[in-house]
Amino acid sequence: MFMSYKLQIASYIRCPLLSIRYALRVTRYIFKSLIFKFLNLLLLFCFSASQPCSAQTKFGHVDYGEIMKNMHGIDSIQTVITKYYEDLQDVADQMIKELKEKEAAFEKLATGSNTSQAVLKIRQDELLSLYRRFQEFQQSAERDFNDKKLELLEPFQNKLLDTIKKVAKANNYNYVFDITTVLFFNPNDDLTEKVKAELRIK
């Protein structure tokens, strides 16, 4: 009689904050990444085929992730991001603990022979209300975490993009791609080290 709520809660409270949504996002990202790589390769092929032999169109690439993780000051930002996530996770863990305790108390009441249906209904409503609050917290926590990460990383991303543009212009490159989106590339057109040098990254 009171088992339907358990199917909702039991599968959820054992999962850490954002884990389900994160897994789905990773799956979608991998799929989109493969499609993006294919489209990039097709674009390069089509564009190159449309250019006259005398054209000096140059395509370069950089290891965006490699540069980003080595930028000066990024370590401290990653520490802040990690701490921000851990704080959210702590709150989620506390809510999960409370959910489990209330669920155990409810099950004890439900199996008792002297508990009225009215009392069971009240306790069930309390448990479902807590579950809904946990869902709402998870959704808002995900938004807050993504917004905070974007806020902290945006200055580094802007600086890196500006530097890539500067290096590309100085070396007469018309297009620069991230290496993770290109299926084939010429190592001679790798601008990663030039960008790192401009950013004074060793």
Cα–Cα distance, 149 to 145 (Å, whole number): 6
Look-up of token digits 């006259």: 52
Mean pLDDT of 95-110: 89
- Region 44-73: mean pLDDT is 75
How confident is the model at residue 41, as a pLDDT?
52
The predicted pLDDT at position 185 comes to 84
Q: What pLDDT, on a 0 to 100 scale, did the predictor assign at position 25? A: 52
Residue 144 or 50, more confident: 144
Q: Is the pLDDT of residue 63 over 60?
A: yes
Range of the domain at 84: 4-198
Cβ-contact 191, 62 below 8 angstroms:
yes
Please give the average per-residue pLDDT across 136-163, as a whole number: 94
Q: Is 8 a residue whose pLDDT tops 50?
A: no
pLDDT at 174: 93
- In the chain, pLDDT over 90 holds for what percent of residues? 53
Strand partners, 92: none
- The answer, yes or no, to whether residue 26 has pLDDT greater than 70, is no
**Cα three-residue angle 135-141-143, rounded to 5 degrees:** 110
Predicted model pTM: 0.65
| Virtual torsion, Cα 147, 149, 155, 159, nearest 10 deg | -120
Amino acid, res. 17: L
pLDDT at 27: 44
Residue 157 clears pLDDT 50, i.e. is over it? yes
Between residues 109 and 6, the one the model is more confident about: 109
Q: How many domains does the chain have?
A: 1
Q: Rounded to the nearest 10 degrees, how much is the dihedral formed by the CA atoms of 63, 69, 73, 77?
A: 130
Cα 167 off chain centre by: 29
Alpha helices in the chain (DSSP H): 4-13, 19-50, 64-69, 74-111, 117-170, 192-198
Give the mean model confidence (pLDDT) for residues 78-88. Answer: 94
Q: d(Cα 116, Cα 135) in Å, to the nearest integer?
A: 29
